[in-house]
Amino acid sequence: MFNKPFHSTPLNDKKILITGGAGFIGSNLVEYLLKYEAKKVRVLDNFSTGHINNVKPFLHYPNFELIEGDIRNYETCVKAITDIDFVLHQAALGSVPRSIEDPITTNEVNISGFLNILTAAKNIGIKRLVYAASSSTYGDSKNLPKVEHIIGNPLSPYAVTKLVNELYAKVFSTSYQFHSIGLRYFNVFGPKQNPKGAYAAVIPLFVHSMLQKIAPSIYGDGLTSRDFTFIENVVQANIKALFADNIFESEVFNIAYGSSTTLTELWQKINAIGNVNISPNYLPERKGDIKHSLANIDKARKILDYNPEFSIDEGLAITIKWYRDNPDHFETK
């Protein structure tokens, strides 16, 4: 992974905080930054969804620091951001179904926690905040492909929280001239994504089913489609956003590959790579899910010089190999 750099600016004098750095996306960012010798990589995580095994290989690095704490505590955020140049804010409670079952906690983490990080970053005067936004912001908009300036009504509490993040970022830009970048992720997948738990994402669930040779569950008729985005593309976007020099207000960007795959097609691809032939179980559609999602990534290409290099097929091959090589990764915390 990360065999080529996505930055031209040297990292050996950069100190970077990654909130949620023990999570799936966060820990891949940690791996990249340490591989390319950032001066300091600090992680803030409360391990509610992150896993210690995601960062255990880095604990002995002299330029790595782990703070166990919660973004819902403002003083913890201040402590984490002090003496930091850049923030990659990945901490959040994901999952549409989880937000429908527990909207209060989702709101506390994703909105209050985000506001704590945003405020601390503004007050301390960091150079750039890049945060995880979400394609869920498009809500019930029928427009395809999705373009940043056309959104619909949110379909879940999770989507509301991600939209509010963008609104706060915009207000901080106009009120305080503190400009941040939101990356609207589209169905990210790859190594270090947990296949276990009630709110696991579809690709790790499907891969786990394939490896166990059991039928997966598909919600709906299987024609639901997503723009599945391999993690290395997402890391590229984060790194390029950190050092983009043409940002003059808070901006949001679609981060995806730019092609759609149905859930049935996804399972067929995983079947083929795993050399199995298992039929899935089809269940009723889930509340809050959208039917189709496909990103227009022209804005990110133009402004961030984002160029996703890994297709879903290439990403799946890497991901499945990782799960095979790391069968016990998520067994204990």
Q: What confidence tens digit (pLDDT) does each residue in 18-45 have?
A: 999 999 999 999 999 999 999 999 999 9
| Rounded CA separation 163/172 (Å) | 14
- Catalytic residue (one of 32, 131, 158, 306): 158
| Rounded CA separation 106/109 (Å) | 5
Percent of the chain at pLDDT > 90 equals: 90
Q: Which amino acid is at 137?
A: T
pLDDT confidence of 64, banded at 50, 70, 90? Answer: very high
Which residues does 312 contact at the CB level (< 8 Å), separation at least 6? 228, 230, 257, 259, 261, 266, 269
Q: Which amino acid is at 183?
A: L
pLDDT confidence of 257, banded at 50, 70, 90? Answer: very high
| Rounded CA separation 72/79 (Å) | 13
* The CATH number of the domain covering residues in 15-188+227-256: 3.40.50.720
158 tagged catalytic? yes
CB-hemisphere CA count at 13 Å for 218?
A: 20
Handedness of CA 23, 190, 18, 62 (dihedral sign): positive
Q: Taking 70 as the threshold, does the pLDDT of residue 333 lie above it?
A: no
Beta bridge partners of 252: 182
Q: C-alpha distances in angstroms, 219 versus 283, 289, 290, 318?
A: 5, 9, 11, 25
Q: C-alpha distances in angstroms, 262 versus 97, 163, 208, 218, 317?
A: 20, 25, 18, 11, 18
Q: How many residues does the chain have?
A: 333
CB-hemisphere CA count at 13 Å for 58?
A: 26
| Strand arrangement, sheet containing 15-19 | 64-68, 40-45, 15-19, 86-89, 128-134, 180-185, 251-255
Q: Taking 70 as the threshold, does the pLDDT of residue 199 lie above it?
A: yes
Q: Give the SS3 label for residue 65.
A: strand
pLDDT for 286 = 80
Q: Give the SS3 label for residue 329.
A: coil
Q: Which tens digit of pLDDT belongs to each residue from 94-122?
A: 888 899 999 999 999 999 999 999 999 99
Q: Torsion over CA of 255, 258, 262 and 267, rounded to 10 degrees? A: -70
Is-above-0.85 flag for pTM? yes
| Rounded CA separation 106/91 (Å) | 11
Mean pLDDT of all residues belonging to the chain: 95
Tokens of 5: 């750099």
| Rounded CA separation 220/158 (Å) | 21
Q: Which tens digit of pLDDT belongs to each residue from 146-168?
A: 999 999 999 999 999 999 999 99
CB-hemisphere CA count at 13 Å for 271?
A: 14
CB-hemisphere CA count at 13 Å for 235?
A: 29
Decide which of 161 and 246 is more confident. Answer: 161
- Per-residue burial over 160-174, b if 16 or more Cβ lie within 10 Å, else e, is bbbbbbbebbbebbe
End-to-end CA distance of the chain: 24
pLDDT confidence of 248, banded at 50, 70, 90? Answer: confident
Q: What is the mean pLDDT of residues 217-230?
A: 94
Q: What is the mean pLDDT of residues 43-70?
A: 96
State the CB neighbour count (10 A cutoff) for residue 49: 20
Closest listed residue to residue 319, CA positions, set 278, 244, 283, 266: 266
Q: Which tens digit of pLDDT belongs to each residue from 278-289?
A: 999 999 988 777
Closest listed residue to residue 22, CA positions, set 62, 52, 67: 52
pLDDT for 332 = 66
pLDDT for 38 = 97
